[in-house]
Amino acid sequence: MGTARSHASWLTRVSPFAASLRGYDRRRLKKDVVGALTVTALHIPEGMAYAQLAGMPPQAALYSTPAALALYALFGSSRQLIIAVSASVSVLSAATVGAMAQQGTPRFMALTAALALMAGAVATLAGVLKLGRVAQFFSSSVLSGFVFGLALIIAIKQVPKLLGIEGAKGGFFERLGYLLTHLGQTHALTLAVGAASIAALLLLGRVSRRIPAALAVLVLGIAVSSLLHLDAKGVAIVGHIPAGLVPPQLPEVELGDLAKLLPGACGIALVAFAEAIGPARMFAAKHGYEVDPNRELVGLGAANLGGGLFRGFSMGCSLSKSAANDQAGSTTQVSSLVTAGLTLLVALFLTGLFRTLPEATLGAIVVVAILGMMDVKELVRLARLRRADFLGAAVALVGVLAFDVLPGLLIAVGLSLFLTVYRASRPRLSELGRVPGTLDLAATHREASAITLPGLEVFRPEEGLFFANATSLRDEVLKRVGDAKVPVREVLLDLELTDDLDVPGADMLAGLHEDLSNRGITLSLARVHAPAQRLLERTGVLAKMGRQNVYPHVREGVEAWMARHESQAWQEWRLIQDGLYLVRSRVDEAGALLHGEERHRQEDLLIRLDEADTRMRELLRNLPHPPADDDSRGPVH
């Protein structure tokens, strides 16, 4: 029994698909099959179109996606996500391999398959090393600009198919310039086919989302082309597509080629993961299960390994097909497995049906599919809410258009990392004060009524203390101390947000201690986590500062300050009064549970507390310049 359970547990860890099958029944199977039919209807036309985006023949999608769909279903953790062809990943693949070989050549195809294998290996390794958390360091604002620019590059490559003219090589602006200067060569009938296909796709999409618009337009395009013999009238068609499957094999490439492909493979793994993790989490939240970012990396890696082994191209997340799969009611990865089987049937027996498909129709399918990537509303929202986020998106967008896909990706990634480090390095230092009527502390810039104690500055680094912000935080503390209206005698640092202090951070505390000591100011620490305290001990910082100046809570540090320094500042006496008030309230609340002698002792304690409060009020009235509201709370009894 125990062995069976251990095997089941091991299988669940290796393949989340096994866990999703618990309680599986005919009702769920029916929904998964409906989802698979919907996805297949979308996948066939888009797969053929995206294969051409990757510089591969249309049949490459039919060869490689069954393995990708099946492997992701087994090793990925999302139950609704469809990992197959992706416009952004296809363009990245073409950009990477295009710099090394001519499209249409055997070398180009071999390098494309090798790139898919390398992207799969990179993603799988990242998942095994549990690097899924890296995704949180990439700004979604920057990535939205990158995706927008990528969509424009995809669109500019499809426009020649819609116009019936030869496309130019080069970057976005070279292609755009070529199109503008060669509009006179537009083939009217091809333009009509492309425009009609776009109009039909948009119209069907508005009429009903349940209608597979891409499949309907594909069938219509094939029918019209066959009836009117459009190829004889100058309209380019797909032509012959070989039926059958190719056996799995490793592409024949040299070691030097793999080194050149590595940056592109890392970029594809990153883009595919960034594209997939958001929808995966959304579907998981909707259906009440968890997705593991590291399992997603392994699933994406397995899908790309499968695509590369079958002489295909790199795979990624299909947002449109994932959404359609979810809307069809799919509940498990069985939908992906059935889609893989249906795609195999098409590859074996139905490729001849696509011979007369107009290239303009394929181009139209791609253009309409990527319209969702051009999120103008998101850019407008960023511009309205925060200029820095909009500028980050704009830089990434322009970077893609000006420097092409791979350099643009590096710009987007570099910009995200720069923004992360820049924000973390800023000296976000909050001054803490006491909320009137309580013993609670709050940041003075958030709580305007918070009261500070003259001579004592309580600060909290809001980003934690580490190497990137250590120097700026020290400078900010010294600046605040120098700008204080009342001479500072002690600085109390709240390190609650510093979970794991590094050596530069500890060195900074040592230097700050010396700087403040030279000014006659004591440095104290509060809420120091165990790992940080151990490092402070090993580096000798704790011995320099004195263990007596490290407190478990900020309140203890404030109390110790008051015990060491005699003062007649009303803020300190008011703190004591509020403390008395809170103690009396707790004693009074406990009275309902006391009887006999205990009740008498409680009443005596209340009387003494009231007397202490009365003396405190008299003292506050005699202090110089008392605040106008120092009696606003009224008597405590």
Q: Which has more confidence, 67 or 619?
A: 67
According to the model, what pLDDT value does residue 595 have? 67
According to the model, what pLDDT value does residue 551 have? 92
Q: What is the mean pLDDT of residues 406-429?
A: 78
d(CA 514, CA 324): 64
Q: Phi first, then psi: give them for residue 238, nearest 5 degrees.
A: -65, -40
Place of tokens 């062995």: 3
Q: What is the mean pLDDT of residues 93-117?
A: 93
Place of tokens 């597509």: 241
Query: Tokens standing for 80?
Result: 């609704």
According to the model, what pLDDT value does residue 508 have? 93
d(CA 266, CA 432): 45
Q: SS3 sequence, 534-561? A: HHHHHCCHHHHHCHHHEECCHHHHHHHH
Does residue 161 sit in helix, strand or coil? helix
Q: What is the mean pLDDT of residues 417-426?
A: 76
According to the model, what pLDDT value does residue 509 have? 94
Domain 429-564, second-level architecture: 2-Layer Sandwich (3.30)
According to the model, what pLDDT value does residue 485 have? 86
Please say if the pLDDT value at position 478 is more than 80: yes
d(CA 214, CA 483): 67
d(CA 524, CA 489): 11
According to the model, what pLDDT value does residue 592 have? 61
Over residues 455-472, the pLDDT tens digits come to: 889 999 888 888 888 888
d(CA 41, CA 365): 13
Q: What is the mean pLDDT of residues 108-129?
A: 95
Query: Tokens standing for 563?
Result: 């015990």
According to the model, what pLDDT value does residue 110 have? 95
Place of tokens 């004889």: 232
How many other β-carbons are positioned within 10 Å of the β-carbon of residue 395? 17
According to the model, what pLDDT value does residue 1 have? 45
According to the model, what pLDDT value does residue 622 have? 57
For residue 358, what are the β-bridge partners? 237
Q: Which has more confidence, 46 or 516?
A: 516
Q: Which has more confidence, 278 or 315?
A: 315
Q: Phi first, then psi: give them for residue 190, nearest 5 degrees.
A: -65, -40
Over residues 191-229, the pLDDT tens digits come to: 999 999 999 989 987 887 667 787 888 889 999 999 999
Q: What is the mean pLDDT of residues 615-632?
A: 51
75 band by pLDDT with thresholds 50, 70 and 90 = very high
Lowest mean pLDDT among 95-99, 236-240, 286-290, 318-322: 318-322
Cβ distance 111 to 253 under 8 Å?
yes
Q: Which has more confidence, 124 or 416?
A: 124
Please say if the pLDDT value at position 354 is more than 90: no
Over residues 573-611, the pLDDT tens digits come to: 555 556 556 566 666 666 666 666 776 676 666 666 566
| Nearest 10 degrees: Cα torsion 223, 226, 229, 235 | 60
Q: What percent of the chain has pLDDT over 90?
A: 37
Please say if the pLDDT value at position 615 is more than 80: no
| CA contacts within 13 A on the Cβ side of 468 | 13
Q: What percent of the chain has pLDDT over 70?
A: 84
Q: What is the mean pLDDT of residues 355-360?
A: 91
d(CA 436, CA 104): 75
Over residues 150-170, the pLDDT tens digits come to: 888 888 988 999 999 987 877
Cβ distance 243 to 349 under 8 Å?
yes
Q: Phi first, then psi: give them for residue 439, nearest 5 degrees.
A: -105, 10
Please say if the pLDDT value at position 632 is more than 60: no
Angle at Cα 52 formed by Cα 46 and Cα 57, nearest 5°? Answer: 105
Q: What is the mean pLDDT of residues 33-37?
A: 87
According to the model, what pLDDT value does residue 6 have? 47
Beta-carbon contacts of 54 under 8 Å, excluding residues fewer than 6 positions away, are: 60, 90, 91, 93, 94, 112, 313, 314
According to the model, what pLDDT value does residue 580 have? 54
Lowest mean pLDDT among 60-64, 79-83, 181-185, 445-449: 445-449
Over residues 552-570, the pLDDT tens digits come to: 988 788 778 776 765 545 5
Place of tokens 């949180």: 136
Cβ distance 115 to 308 under 8 Å?
yes
- Rounded to whole angstroms, the maximal C-alpha distance in the chain is 110
Burial bucket for residue 624 (CB in 10 Å: 0-12, 13-18, 19+): exposed
- Report the candidate in 36, 39, 41, 45 with the shortest Cα–Cα distance to residue 368: 45
Mean pLDDT computed over every residue of the chain: 83
According to the model, what pLDDT value does residue 17 have? 80
Cβ distance 325 to 35 under 8 Å?
yes
Query: Tokens standing for 436?
Result: 């009137």
According to the model, what pLDDT value does residue 26 have? 82
Query: Tokens standing for 555?
Result: 């309140």
**What are the CB-based long-range contacts (under 8 Å, 24+) for 532-539?**
532/495, 532/498, 532/499, 532/500, 532/501, 535/501, 535/502, 535/503, 535/506, 536/501, 536/506, 536/509, 539/503, 539/506, 539/507, 539/510
Beta-carbon contacts of 46 under 8 Å, excluding residues fewer than 6 positions away, are: 85, 214, 318, 320, 321, 365, 366, 369
Angle at Cα 427 formed by Cα 421 and Cα 430, nearest 5°? Answer: 130
According to the model, what pLDDT value does residue 602 have? 66
Helices 387-403 and 405-425 pack at an angle, to 10 degrees, of 150
- Report the candidate in 439, 440, 455, 432 with the shortest Cα–Cα distance to residue 568: 455
**What are the sequence ranges of the domains in the chain?**
23-166+177-234+257-417, 429-564, 570-622
Burial bucket for residue 635 (CB in 10 Å: 0-12, 13-18, 19+): exposed
For residue 465, CA distances in Å to 402, 541, 586 come to 38, 15, 37
Please say if the pLDDT value at position 637 is more than 50: no
Question: What is the H or E stretch that residue 372 is in?
Answer: none
According to the model, what pLDDT value does residue 514 have? 94
According to the model, what pLDDT value does residue 609 have? 59
Please say if the pLDDT value at position 619 is more than 70: no
Of these ranges, 83-87, 142-146, 489-493, the one predicted with the greatest mean pLDDT is 489-493
Lowest mean pLDDT among 33-47, 207-221, 240-254, 522-536: 207-221
Lowest mean pLDDT among 19-28, 243-252, 545-554, 582-591: 582-591
Please say if the pLDDT value at position 438 is more than 80: no
Residue burial 562-590, b: 16+ Cβ < 10 Å; e: rest:
beeeeeebbbbbbbebbebbeebeeeeee
According to the model, what pLDDT value does residue 146 have? 83
Q: Which has more confidence, 463 or 535?
A: 535
According to the model, what pLDDT value does residue 451 have? 72
